Amino acid sequence: MKKNILAISLMATLIIVVSGACKLDDDSAATILIDAEYLAKTKTQIRKDDPKLMNAFEQLIKDADKALKEDPYSVTDKEKLPPSGDKHDYASYSRYWWPDPDKADGLPYIRRDGETYPASQSLDESDRPRIGSLGLNTETLGLAYYLTGKRKYAQKAAELLRVWFIDEKTRMNPNLNHAQCRLGHNNGSKSGILDGRLMVRALEGALLISDSSELSDVEFKKLKAWTKEYFKWLSTNEMALQEAASKNNHGSYYDAQAIYFALYSGNREAAKQIAQRFVHNRVLTQIQADGSMPKEMERTRPLFYSIYNLHAMFLVAHLAEHVGVDIWKANEKDSRLRAGLDYLVPYADPKKSWPHPTIGEADRMELFPILQMTERVYPDRNYLKMIEKLPVENRKTHRTNIAFPLMR
């Protein structure tokens, strides 16, 4: 009897040790944006060493191992105080605004659309590089944990989340009052709300590690409370509401961000209202019958911004499924969303020239994740065939082979 008890005890200990090292038995994912069913299939295929996914998987693990070595990010790391004087407030500077060369102090800054002012990306002054790294690395680590079960990835993801959202000494205040400041003009601009979309990637990472116990139940509650406060700011602050009124990609990404934070914080009614208004407020007002997007065509990089805007609309259409709203097939016979897709799809072929003036060449690979999404919702026209026009090496390692949709 004692031998049996000892054997059972040793077996239990072995199970605990193994489960502490990896989690491979449960294929479910509690994600909101990332397609959980597709991700579960990915996991199964990777276990079988499916050659179609191994390049992307190996790249993901390289990225995750690199992320393990990076310090956590905090808004309190910047040396320059934001206009509020509180380091916990996020601060960034508009990337297309430059010092006026005709003024001794450069003020007020002037706009050079499509040209990034290097100082706007300074770590000493701006949190924009930090929020980008937070989002990308937490998503990377979350996916690596989900697909391998290795706890080291969940531990690091939890550290990033804890420092940015939870720890009172380092957390970000749930607002973007000082995002994309324009020196000589304002202490924060409505277009800065766009920066907040990058936190979606971090929160998806949190959901991907939710069964690892690396974040406690109390910490998850604090994370949800943070998102609730942020959504309240996003839906009531005057500057944020000005961004909501934007008639271009900024308005589309506002909705993508708002519906996500509503869903994450448990406010399904608000999410449903955003979804129900989206076709009228965004799709029909931004996409013409021929599929072109006038507001994006006005920009110095029209192909880039047209793809960028369509991606945001696809993200909202996907998120709307959570609340039973079908944006994909709204006005199906004259679907503007599909018209926008048809307008851009031919340019997946790098040999097809963009016929309008532009600064630089748009990366056609940005169409890759959009084309992947179309396979599920518009399977009748074989849009996925156009992927074959894109560079094969880039296709093999692209993250959306493993998981989609992903926030841009």
329 CB-near residues (< 8 Å, 6+ apart): 335, 377
Closest among 129, 128, 146, 131 to 60, alpha carbons compared: 146
Low-confidence ranges of the chain (pLDDT < 70): 1-28
Is 322 found in the same domain as 212? Answer: no
> Is residue 234 domain-shared with residue 259, that is, in the same domain?
no
* Same-domain pairing of 236 and 254: no
C-alpha span between 41 and 39 (Å, rounded): 5
β-bridge pairing 97-98 and 110-111: antiparallel
pLDDT at res. 331? 85
In terms of Cβ atoms closer than 10 Å to its own Cβ (0-12, 13-18, 19+), residue 77 is middle
Q: What angle is formed at CA 114 by the lines to CA 112 and CA 115, rounded to 5 degrees?
A: 65
- Of 242, 146, 139, 148, whose CA–CA distance to 200 is shortest? 139
pTM value is 0.91
The boundaries of the domain holding residue 373 are 247-408
Give, in order, the Cα–Cα distances in Å from 7 to each of 11, 20, 35, 288: 6, 20, 42, 71
338 part of a folded domain: yes
- Of 245, 277, 294, the domain-final residue: 245
* 343 within 8 A of 291, measured Cβ to Cβ: yes
Are residues 169 and 296 both part of a single domain? no
- Asked if residue 251 belongs to a domain, the reply is yes
Six-digit token string for 152: 């080291």
- Take residue 377 and report the two structure tokens written for it: 């919702």
pLDDT given for residue 25 in this prediction: 42
For residue 42, tell me if it sits in a domain.
Answer: no
The answer to whether residue 43 sits within a structural domain is no
pLDDT at 27: 65
Same domain, 130 and 87: yes
> Is 361 a member of any domain?
yes
Asked whether residue 59 is domain-assigned, the answer is no
In a domain, 50, yes or no: no
Both 278 and 311 in one domain: the answer is yes
- Do 356 and 276 have their domain in common? yes
CATH of residue 270's domain is 1.50.10.100
Domain end (from 208, 224, 245): 245
Which one of 206, 223, 245 terminates a domain?
Answer: 245
394 belongs to a structural domain: yes
Q: Phi first, then psi: give them for residue 211, nearest 5 degrees.
A: -95, 10
pLDDT, one tens digit per residue, over 65-112 is: 999 999 999 999 999 999 999 999 999 999 999 999 999 999 999 999
Q: Are residues 234 and 281 in the same domain?
A: no
Do 286 and 386 lie in one domain? The reply is yes
Pick from 204, 153, 147, 201: nearest CA to 26: 147
404 and 268 part of one domain:
yes
* Per-residue confidence (pLDDT) for residue 29, from 0 to 100: 75
Check whether residue 142 and residue 277 sit in a common domain: no
Same domain assignment for residues 222 and 74 = yes
Residue 322 has a pLDDT of 97
Look at the chain and report how many structural domains it folds into: 2
